[in-house]
Amino acid sequence: MKTRIALIAHDKKKDDMITLAGEYRDFLATCELTATGTTGGRLINELGLAVERKHSGPFGGDLQIGALLVEGLIDCVIFLRDPMTPQPHEPDINALVRACDVHNVACATNLSTAHLVLSQLQAQASAAAQAAA
């Protein structure tokens, strides 16, 4: 079964998301990826990743991903948040992070945590592939 990862980035963090995804591109290419609108478009156009795009965050994309998470269809959320800029859809953001806590789904909200989570998932996938060989 493929690892199912949601990728979300606020406007000022989108470049960071592209850099991060580029570093883990080979691993992410083996995963089922879901992303909010603009972030997903950039991942597709700039890195050639296969991504299921949802609406942009302010138009309900965070809630769409939250619904997938509640249904058990997301294994991990990488949500690069911009803590210095007020977000008009802050309640949706809080609901998504809360859903991660309620459903015990890993949620990385900054680059340091994202690197830790992705490197661990990558190592687990590599170990599973070696065991199957």
Residue 62 among the catalytic residues: yes
Q: How many CA atoms lie within 13 A of 8 on its CB side?
A: 27
φ/ψ (deg, to 5) at 44? -70, -55
- Alpha-carbon dihedral of residues 84, 82, 101, 7, nearest 10 degrees? 180
Residue 77, C-beta contacts closer than 8 angstroms, at least 6 positions apart: 5, 6, 8, 65, 69, 96, 100, 105, 106, 107, 108
Which residue among the candidates 11, 15, 26, 62 is catalytic per the annotation? 62
Tokens of 50: 């296969």
Tokens of 111: 């680059």
Active site residue ranges: 62
